[in-house]
Amino acid sequence: MKRFGEKLRFLRQQRNLSLMELGGSVDIHYTHLGKIEIGKKRPSADLILRIADFFNLSADQLMRDELEL
């Protein structure tokens, strides 16, 4: 799950979303998302599911480093 933050940033930028916009959509503070993107924090299971649902992906796609988006 080392690439989670990288994948999250890619998805967010692909949709032209700011951290604040994405944070509002998945109900988490944007600074926490920023720390996840740079690898300083790890997402909870609940947050992974909310992000996967938001981007219409499976949690596996986000969590497994060997799987591409």
Q: Per-domain residue ranges for the chain?
A: 4-62
Q: What is the pTM of this model?
A: 0.93
- pLDDT, residue 53, reads 97
Structure tokens at 69: 């988006």
Closest by CA position to 47, among listed 14, 55, 3, 2 = 55
User: Is 90 exceeded by the pLDDT of residue 1?
Assistant: no
**Per-residue model confidence (pLDDT) at position 68:** 87
Pick the CATH number of 4-62 from 3.40.50.10380, 3.90.1200.10, 3.90.1310.10, 1.10.260.40: 1.10.260.40
**Model pLDDT for residues 29-69, shown as the tens digit of each residue:** 999 999 999 999 999 999 999 999 999 999 999 999 898 88
Among 55, 61, 45, which Cα is nearest to 13's?
55
- Residue 41: alpha-carbon gap to chain centroid: 11
Q: What is the pLDDT of residue 29?
A: 97
d(CA 39, CA 30): 14
Q: What would the mean pLDDT of 12-18 be, rounded to a whole number?
A: 97
